[in-house]
Amino acid sequence: MPAVSAVLVPYTSYLRVYEPLAAFPEPERSHWADYARRGGTPTAQDEQRRSLADLLPTPPVPVPVHESGDAFITEVDDVLCVCPWRTRLRGWLALEELPELLPAPLLEAVLPAVVRDQAAADYERWRERNPDARPWIRTAAWQVPVRWFTLFSDDEREYEVGGAQVGEEEAGSPKAPVLRYRTPMVQARRRLARALKALRDAMDEGPLIEGLVDVGRWLEEFHPRSLVELDYGGLVHALSAEWLEEDHSAADVASGIAALRAGDGEGAGEAYGRLSERWRTVRDLQFAN
């Protein structure tokens, strides 16, 4: 594997919003309708492979030159819902976070300062022309942020064990495990509002409250009949089947929030302790050889 892709293999989780087709203005609405009718739409793995391919040239291409015309597609109650990739915007946003993820010498080796500076200048010009743009997808490397779990309940958890697909055992292309949550937008907003109130009643302002406010503002940008999805994405390749099977982080977060509302500080602490210990083992993998 080339050195650059080895460094940037995306052990990444995703928070996605799928909006109903009616939420898109023309001509974009017709584009997505035609796109869905063609079938064979790409998967999350396809998106990751394409993003890694852009890092192989010299110098690397950290942000695509042209916007992607691809999206994730699903149906909710027979209504077509679309989650555009918007790879250019997400690329610029990811670049802003890289200094927090990589040591300076490694960052310079992977993406030299001249490349990052040019991308930042391009982003500034693009934002002037697109001041209201926002991504349909948020990402997090080597974790699922606690604030994301507040949007979901444990009964919305979907876990599919990986393994060989039918007819592909000899081809060596096993199916990857999948761990995700999906919920209607109205439920996500309601749960977030309740969690925010419970936290504000129990503690001073801090990173968790600030994070919830940020996610809430982002969700308000979308159609109320949207679908919200938390996908463990590439993290499933770094975690054991046993870990994935036993992980019920949304239930721990809900338990902690319920304890706070009831004034049970000890119960809230126990739930947070379980959550912290579980995800500490994941973060430790980031620095393992």
CA-only gyration radius of the chain, Å: 20
What pLDDT is attached to residue 167?
A: 47
For every residue of 240-277, DSSP letters joined together read -HHHHHH--HHHHHHHHHHHHHTT-HHHHHHHHHHHHH
Give 275: exposed, middle or buried? Use CB within 10 Å, 0-12, 13-18, 19+. buried
pLDDT of residue 1 exceeding 60: no
- The Cα–Cα gap between 209 and 14 comes to 20
- The Cα–Cα gap between 186 and 178 comes to 24
What pLDDT is attached to residue 124?
A: 86
Kindly report, residue by residue over 121-171, the tens digit of the pLDDT. Answer: 887 887 788 777 789 999 888 899 999 999 999 999 999 997 654 444 444
pLDDT of residue 6 exceeding 50: no
Kindly report, residue by residue over 233-276, the tens digit of the pLDDT. Answer: 989 988 999 999 999 999 999 999 999 999 999 999 999 999 99
pLDDT of residue 289 exceeding 90: no
Q: What integer best gives the mean pLDDT of the chain?
A: 84
Kindly report, residue by residue over 83-110, the tens digit of the pLDDT. Answer: 999 888 888 787 777 777 677 887 787 7
Does residue 102 come out as left (phi exceeding 0), alpha (psi in the -120 to 50 range) or beta?
beta
Q: What are phi and psi of 14, to 5 degrees?
A: -135, 140
Name 157's bridge partners. 181
Contacts of 26 (CB under 8 A, 6+ apart): none
What pLDDT is attached to residue 54?
A: 56
Kindly report, residue by residue over 9-42, the tens digit of the pLDDT. Answer: 468 899 999 999 999 999 999 999 999 998 777 7
User: What predicted TM-score, i.e. pTM, was given to this entire model?
Assistant: 0.83
* Contact of 149 with 230, CB cutoff 8 Å: yes
Question: Which one, of 105, 2, 104, lies nearest residue 53 by Cα?
Answer: 2
